[in-house]
Amino acid sequence: MIRKRNKYFACFFLVALLLSGCGSSFEKSETLSEVLEAKPEGIKALYFYPSTMRMLMDIIGTEKVGALEGIKEARLIFQWNDVNTNFDSYASDIESGILTEDFESLIEMNASGTDVKIFIRESKVPVYIVFYSDGEYDFILEAVGELSDEAIKELASADMGGLIELFSAGNQSEFIEDENANQNDNGGN
């Protein structure tokens, strides 16, 4: 009887464990999620998961993206420079929104027409949000995970436009991926 109960308990424990692994356990920005759910016209979003990061390192090489190794998940929101959207307005709204979510400013920099702002929300797993604008590319990057100091430097200075182009090669049409579908595909990493 006890052995049978233990068996049920083990099954229950296993199911609970699996369920807890489904869906994202990371506390991403609600403000960003709301903006993406509204599917704004002309705005594209890419989602990065541990598997995506591994793939990136395999394809591009760790020397280029190795500094981002600590990122568990990321969302990259951007527009093409030839697409007329209200990206500045979205960025401004998102910046105001994340400040109400306990994000704090780390760095703000404006140099030669390039604007970079980095915010952090410290929690069990820290969340970083980077606003980048250089006249050619505008993007907002949310990175969940432990970032090395090297990674923050990368975020502040890297050619993120190259990363956007890499991911969007051959796909110039607007797309917003289904985040939930991705999470399920990735088994809730």
Binding site for other proteins (CB under 8 A): 104-114, 120, 149-150, 152-153, 156-157
Shortest distance, CB of residue 110 to other proteins, whole angstroms?
A: 5
Can you state the angle between helices 30-37 and 87-99, rounded to 10 degrees? Answer: 150
User: CA-to-CA distance for 99 and 175, rounded, in angstroms?
Assistant: 28
> What is the separation of C-alpha 16 from the centre of its chain, rounded to a whole number of angstroms?
27
Nearer to other proteins, 93 or 134 (CB): 134
Name which of 112 and 171 has its Cβ closer to other proteins: 112
Question: CB of residue 70 vs other proteins: minimum separation in angstroms?
Answer: 13
CB of 113 to other proteins, least distance (A): 5
Name which of 94 and 158 has its Cβ closer to other proteins: 158
Is the Cβ of residue 43 or residue 120 nearer to other proteins in the bound state?
120
